[in-house]
Chain A
Amino acid sequence: EAQVTQNPRYLITVTGKKLTVTCSQNMNHEYMSWYRQDPGLGLRQIYYSMNVEVTDKGDVPEGYKVSRKEKRNFPLILESPSPNQTSLYFCASSDLDTQYFGPGTRLTVL
């Protein structure tokens, strides 16, 4: 089954404790992206990647890092999480023009 998976689905952590949210897709897509969703703001793009070793900033990259060492994986790294990064995070992969979203990761930073 074609899908995008994210782990963990739920995470509660404390300020400053480094964390990684994994994202994997099995559709051989070159393009992948991370979004955060906050009430009243819709989804905002954090980072995107157009291929292995090619990443670029979206609209809200501050406080986040990404890497793309393999085509199927695109982890999101929070080196020093802060409470304002409490949000719902979505990973997506894309063919030419359609994005397929993962189920989301709900992150709470205390």
Chain B
Amino acid sequence: AQSVTQLDSHVSVSEGTPVLLRCNYSSSYSPSLFWYVQHPNKGLQLLLKYTSAATLVKGINGFEAEFKKSETSFHLTKPSAHMSDAAEYFCVVSLTSGTYKYIFGTGTRLKVLA
């Protein structure tokens, strides 16, 4: 069975310092993995996705994530946080077999301190 675990429900960082949002997954198949961001009172926007190509994936707004099969992890990072990064972030896994079933993590709320 598939599952996604976001290891931190809340993360606080100072502006200009690195961001690390952790995500572990469980899948019986070769998964596709995604990170979405949700700003307050907004919909969800795709940050980046992994679909069995390069294991280091670059996304929008300076975010990137590395797929580590041995650790079943897909952590999201950014070298330098900006105030506008304050939002909720969701890690998502789906099968690559075309079932279109997506499993969301419970989310990590990122707070950026001035």
| B36-54 interface with A by 8 A CB criterion | 36, 42-46, 49, 51
State whether the Cβ of A45 lies closer than 8 Å to any Cβ in chain B. Answer: yes
In the complex formed, the residue of A with least CB distance to B32 is: A97
How many residues on the A side are at the interface (Cβ–Cβ under 8 A)?
A: 22
Q: How far is the CA of A94 from the CA of B98 in the complex (A)?
A: 11
List B contacts of A90 (CB < 8 A): 43-44
Interface residues as binary, B34-75 with A (CB distance below 8 Å gives 1, 0 otherwise): 101000001111100101000000000000000000000000
Least CB distance, B26 to chain A, in whole angstroms: 15
Pairwise interchain contact B43-A101, C-beta atoms closer than 8 A: yes
Instruction: Please report whether the interface of chain A is mostly helix, strand, loop or mixed according to DSSP.
Output: strand
Q: Which interface class (under 10, 10 to 19, 20 to 34, 35 or more) fits B? A: 20 to 34
List B contacts of A101 (CB < 8 A): 36, 43-45
Pairwise interchain contact B43-A45, C-beta atoms closer than 8 A: no
Given A98-B46, A101-B44; A58-B101 close (CB under 8 Å): yes
Interface stretch (choices B12-20, B79-87, B104-112): B104-112
List A contacts of B49 (CB < 8 A): 97-98
List A contacts of B100 (CB < 8 A): 31, 33, 48, 50, 94
Can you list 20 A-B pairs with a CB-CB distance of less than 8 A? A33-B100, A40-B106, A42-B104, A42-B105, A43-B44, A43-B90, A45-B101, A48-B101, A50-B100, A90-B44, A94-B100, A97-B32, A97-B94, A98-B46, A98-B49, A99-B102, A100-B46, A101-B36, A101-B43, A102-B43
14 further A-B pairs in the complex, CB-CB below 8 A; given A35-B104, A43-B44 = A33-B100, A33-B102, A40-B9, A42-B104, A42-B105, A42-B106, A97-B32, A99-B46, A100-B46, A101-B36, A101-B43, A101-B45, A102-B43, A103-B42
Q: Could you list which residues of chain B lie within 8 angstroms of chain A, going by C-beta atoms? A: 9, 32, 34, 36, 42-46, 49, 51, 90, 94, 96, 100-107
